[in-house]
Structure 1
Amino acid sequence: MAGPAASPIELAVDDWLTHLGVERGVSANTSASYRRDLRRYLEHLAGHGVTDPADVTPALVADFVVALREGRGGRPLAASSAGRALIAVRGLHRFLLLEGRTGADPAASVRPPATARRLPDALSVEQVEALLAAAGDGATPVSLRDRALLELLYGTGARISEAVGLDVDDVYAEGFEPEAEADATPRGGVVDGLRLVGKGGTHRVVPVGRYARAALEAYLVRGRPALVAGAPGRAGAALFVGLR
């Protein structure tokens, strides 16, 4: 005895998954994941009496995302999982539109649920100490540079992009009189602060703690001159330079 005929939306899902596997080379695992998500989508549409993709509205798609988050018809999904399901739904309706089987894409304007932003994990004191120790004892110009960079990041809260983008002129200090050459190093005085260039080109001046100050002063006096000596004219005004 033959079972009930598949609805137009069920046939559309089968056609899209076949298209993904044959023409797009999507893996079997990805295809199976899409099928699970779309099975729940079909149940959602059937609950609203919709069996034809031409009858799907943006409101129905948006309500499907809400239903996933609330757990209607199954366990509640995290925002990331609901967003993955929406990707499958979007792919299906985009396929049907491009194939000329529908006149509009009801999922195009539906936004995925916002995922919670987690605060970054902070390093423990022991981890910071191990990181600083890994930079070396300051016996070489490279270890002086690495120690100064790590102390600066830890002591000022600067982003890595801000730190590596520093120029010598961005170091504020009393009594500094940089030479005119491109590889000039401030002489004398005490490092007081740094001028950082953040996102969007915004500038801010941050104070430098005593540990970062001592490491930075040691690098400026004994580390940086040695690193730039072998490559005159190529180091430019960069505060932190490499061997080349």
Structure 2
Amino acid sequence: MDNDLKHILVVDDEERIRRLLRMYLEKEGYRIDEAEEGETALRMALSSEYDLIILDVMMPGMDGIEVCTKLREKKATPVLMLTAKGEEANRVSGFEAGADDYVVKPFSPREILYRVKAILRRSSATAFLSKDTDTRNNIVFPHLVIEHDAHRVTAGGQEISLTPKEYELLHYLAMSPDKVFSREDLLKDVWNYEFFGDLRTVDTHVKRLREKLNKVSPEAASMITTVWGVGYKLEVPK
């Protein structure tokens, strides 16, 4: 992956934090744009094609949650949220708005770089659609088709736009149909969290995934089944 091709928007109302992030990210070869408030950030995010947006939650005016929510109405650009320590409610709201990951302030630049690289690594394949898709990598169900090489999902014959994390979650479940995965399993394997992260992260992503599928195919949406007290599975219609 050529980092110099990766374009990142850093959004924070504190100049000190923007400067710190720019310094470390540019050192890694990323191209950086900055915004200090939500309205400008949203305008920039919608008019340019960013590979990643690092977005502070707490900003005057339009906050990060609102920016992310409005962005998700139009685009699936990966979003890394910055939340202040102890703002658990904001963290959950961020995931519900469609954020792909979060980092708690005060953060170490090393952690930010780790998260950025992980998100970009996961989303790199969504930047292209392969015309010569290897059909062996396709997962085909009656109402749902996942073309893995192209990172393309079709439900009820209609293509749907998923964030990298939503896609990864769906693909992971679809790889083992009818197998039940606990939230801990999913957090560890899909989010790569070895520690006990917030299990509601999984719930909010499943909810968003179902909602997107349901808009074009209720049959596809109903395949993602909750197994009460255990977790989730992708159930194949008999």
Q: TM-score range by the shorter chain?
A: under 0.3
**More helix per residue:** 1
**More strand per residue:** 2
TM-score (norm. length: structure 1)? 0.26
Pair member with larger Rg: 1
